[in-house]
Structure 1
Amino acid sequence: MSVFKRELQLLSLALLLCVSASAPLCDVPVQRWCESEQTAQRCGVLDQCVQVNSSRWRSDERVNVSLYYESLCPGCRQFLTQQLMPTFAMLSDIMTVELVPYGNAQEKQVGQKYQFLCQHGEDECLGNMIETCMLDKMGDAAYAVITCMEASTDVLKAAPTCAGLFSPDTSYADVMSCVNGDEGNQLMHQNAKKTGALQPPHQYVPWITINGKYTEDQQQTAQSSLFILVCSLYQGEKPAACTLGQKQMKTSYC
């Protein structure tokens, strides 16, 4: 579905609800009402959004791609910006994405909190934490913000600018409050647990699972052409984009 067509449907939905005096008491902007099934339900427009996103919410059919990565790992940055997010932009109707910033880091519990040691130093730990808090605070907008950061020359310096561009409704101060507080510490601990529970255990990053499972063949295919892999794995009616294909790329690891 084109962006214009989707925005037109959302505008029509908003007008219909306003005219019928049934607009929800919801603090989410209208363009985000249909962002997720949970948001639509909370805002009282689930039935209408199902019509807007008729193919988007068939989560039992969509291909889930989970990326376990580090914010400053060159290979992770390459895969996220050149494979994962471009593919997601073209195939969002048939795939979902999960980002888990942690990778090869290590954690140590000190009292009620955790300390983290990262492969590429303290800046990477900070980048991991910022992106973790963005994923918690920004919803789907976090994907664009993180892509912007990872595509920038300086990931950390780009963070506030990217946040302002792609998630203007989110207070960056709230993100940093999460980063510097107990909330971010616990969120990163959950990333550590999720990464540590991988079977087989990860050996490097980027580490890619498809529908919760890892195979070496799928890892290699995902890194050379994720687009082709997602199209081949999707069991429903394939979108027209799947006929376009995508060139293969060299792989890189940390």
Structure 2
Amino acid sequence: MLNNVLILDFGSQYTQLIARRVRELNIFCEIKPYNKIPEDLSSYKAVILSGSPFSVRADAVSHPDLSSIRGYKPVLGVCYGAQYLAHFNGGNVASSNTREYGRAKLSFIKKGEPFFNDIKEGSQVWMSHADTINELPKNSVLLASTHDVKYAAYKFEGEDTYGIQFHPEVYHTTDGKQLLENFLVNIAGVAQTWTPDAFADTTVAELKEKIGNDKVILGLSGGVDSTVAAVLLHKAIGKHLHCIFVNNGLLR
């Protein structure tokens, strides 16, 4: 799948929500741990760095190798992701005087910036961080601010690498979907061709090819994952699928 988006997960509670928002744009995405970047990145048109409950100033910081991504793929750092890009490229990230959590409004947006196309000053965003960016890297430019957060959004000059201190994936950020569309569609050029039905059809075809005439035994817990797997397998191989229900004691 050539129009794919890679989400690198740093442990954020919102990572799955980022994926959901991307898929709502009819764009397929995959979530991978930050330290398990695929060697073959040819199918990915853009990369999103998630938030994290940790600090880039910690001794044991999550430190992925982005050398195969930066400058080659459009990158969007969200919250921790933005702090990471700033901190390890010559910027300064420090502890906030008070934890910044809640609604804020964009008081400044750089005029003519495609990243903020169709988003106006006064747009509401959602903040959730204990650290803040105090100084940007020298080769970057400020794109947006709130009353309390000067560097709410920025980009690196000469490349499509962006950082935002707020969370576009939560519904409190009123123009979050528009922002993601600006980045993924207008900047990264990702085609909006993915649908759940198309994904199911592709998966069924792949299962048919891999399994052939073999038989499959599948444990069913009653949860979403195993149930969806069972439905797709049954569409692919029919009576060659044998399901075993496992009562794990946690059913409702």
TM-score surpassing 0.5?
no
- With a CA cutoff of 8 Å and minimum separation of 6, indicate the structure with the bigger relative contact order: 1
Q: TM-score, normalised by structure 2?
A: 0.23
Determine which structure has more spread, i.e. the larger CA radius of gyration.
2
Higher helix share: 1
Higher strand share: 2
